[in-house]
């Protein structure tokens, strides 16, 4: 499992020219799953996301988490995180988890962030063409991977 965490001032997801999800300050997550990922990887990275300290404290140091700031998350499924270009220029996506299993894990990540950590987490449209708009804050971008 890979998650690209972008600290944002705002982000939204548009499908068919309609905004379906929108947040102000918080994280835009790009979430990808690979073979053998399970709920254990989801729980591990949900905890890491919730406690990641990439917001400034009063001294300007990256010392506060999204929990400390009471901000929101926009989570976007991104199977292309597992695109492999080692054998040419056209990515192979054979390492990406099959869609039905990936959907279940993707929804579970949002459920855990919402319920266990009380972080308002909105989703994109799994399997649809989405236009993602964001204002990156910093910019601060962190890549997390499961064990």
Q: What three-state secondary structure class fits 40? A: helix
Question: Scanning the structure block, which residue is given the tokens 């799994």?
Answer: 126
Candidates 14, 80, 85, 94; catalytic one: 80
Q: How many CB atoms lie within 10 A of CB 129?
A: 8
80 assigned to active site: yes
Residue by residue, what is the 3-state secondary structure of 64-124?
Answer: EEHHHHCCEEEEEECHHHHCECCCCCCCECCCECCHHHHHHHHHHHHHHHHHCCCCCEEEC
State the catalytic residues: 80
């Amino acid at each position: 499992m890979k998650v690209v965490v972008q600290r944002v001032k705002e982000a939204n997801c548009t499908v068919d020219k309609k905004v379906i999800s929108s947040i102000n300050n918080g994280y835009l997550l790009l979430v990808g799953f690979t073979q053998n990922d399970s709920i254990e990887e989801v729980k591990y990275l949900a905890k890491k996301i919730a406690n990641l300290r990439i917001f400034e404290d009063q001294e300007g140091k990256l010392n506060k988490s999204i929990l400390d700031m009471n901000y929101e998350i926009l989570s976007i499924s991104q199977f292309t995180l597992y695109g492999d270009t080692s054998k040419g220029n056209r990515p192979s996506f054979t390492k990406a988890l099959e869609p039905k299993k990936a959907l279940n894990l993707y929804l579970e990540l949002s459920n855990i962030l919402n319920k266990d950590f009380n972080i308002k987490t909105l989703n994109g449209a799994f399997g649809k063409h989405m236009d993602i708009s964001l204002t990156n804050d910093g910019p601060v971008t962190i890549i997390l991977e499961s064990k």
